[in-house]
Amino acid sequence: MKDLDNYILEHIDEEDPVLQELDRETHLKVLGARMLSGNLQGQVLTMLSKMIQPEKILEVGTFTGYSAICLAKGLTETGKLITIEVDDELEYLSARYFEKAGLAGKIEQRIGPALQIIPEIDETFDLVFLDANKREYIDYYNLIFEKVRSGGYIIADNTLWSNKVLQKPSPDDTQTKGIIAFNNTVKTDSRVEKVILPLRDGMTIIRKK
């Protein structure tokens, strides 16, 4: 599998130097660096965003800003991305890289709990990316659904959750329970079309009818 991963990375576009630098600094300085999207997933997010050509993007879960930069590359000339992160200690790092990427004017950072911030946002979005607290995925989905235009997209990360979705979760494994519940909710939601890509930890692409 490692050989296949290397082959894929050798046959796609090279990683943006700013994103390379962000990846290195995240791994050096931030706990949980594996949460960073990385080159393959980042390129998929950029490609999807460029295909959609969104005017407005909402990201739930900034971390150090890698995925926000990737998504923002597909924004229209006047477009804007709002990204929400609960950890205020990461705000400076991500803001610095938004500046380095030349995207500071297109990305608006909101710091605090997403469940409090999302209801305060009076925008209609073409694209939403969910990559925050897995226990709250259903809550995010319900809060953002009416803020997504018809024909708009929701992308949810980590929806295979290290293949734990195939097993019965332990009583205290609330994150796996959250992902399973989210997947089941989306599966039975007739308002959307959906597909799960087995990319890294699973990525669900949802289109609102």
Q: How do residues 136-182 score in pLDDT, each as one tens digit?
A: 999 999 999 999 999 999 999 999 999 999 999 899 999 999 999 99
Q: What percent of the chain has pLDDT over 90?
A: 91
The pLDDT-based confidence of 200 (bands split at 50, 70, 90) is: confident
The average pLDDT across 40-61 equals: 98
Task: Give the tokens for residue 198.
Answer: 């087995």
- Please give the Cα distance from 62 to 68 (Å, whole number): 7
pLDDT of residue 62: 97
The pLDDT-based confidence of 132 (bands split at 50, 70, 90) is: very high
pLDDT tens for 84-126 read 999 999 999 999 999 999 999 999 999 999 999 999 999 999 9
Task: Give the tokens for residue 99.
Answer: 């500046």
- Please give the Cα distance from 93 to 107 (Å, whole number): 14
In sequence order, the β-bridge partners of residue 188 are: none
The torsion defined by the Cα of 169, 174, 180 and 185, in degrees rounded to 10, comes to 150
SS3 138: helix
The one-character DSSP state at 159 is S
- CB atoms inside a 10 Å sphere around CB 3: 7
Domain edges within the chain: 2-208
Strand-by-strand arrangement of the 192-197 sheet: 107-111, 80-85, 56-60, 125-130, 148-157, 203-208, 192-197
pLDDT tens for 58-86 read 999 999 999 999 999 999 999 999 999 99
pTM surpassing 0.75?
Answer: yes
In sequence order, the β-bridge partners of residue 205 are: 155, 195
- Please give the Cα distance from 73 to 184 (Å, whole number): 31
Is residue 1 pLDDT above 80, yes or no? no
What's the fold here for domain 2-208? Rossmann fold (3.40.50)
